[in-house]
Amino acid sequence: MSIKNYINNSKIRLNKVNANTISFTENDDRELIYYDGLDINIKENILDINYKRNVGFNTNDIFKIEVEYIITWEIKSGKLKEINDVLNHITKEDRNYLIGQSPFEASLLVSQITKALDFAPLITPPIFIDKNTL
Per-residue pLDDT of 21-58, as tens digits, reads: 887 777 667 889 999 999 999 998 999 999 999 999 98
Q: Is this structure's pTM higher than 0.85?
A: yes
Q: pLDDT category, 134, cuts 50, 70, 90?
A: low
72 within 8 A of 121, measured Cβ to Cβ: no
Per-residue pLDDT of 58-71, as tens digits, reads: 887 789 999 999 99
Strand partners, 118: none
CATH code for the domain defined by 3-133: 3.10.420.10
For residues 128 and 94, give the distance between their C-alpha atoms in angstroms, rounded to a whole number.
Answer: 12
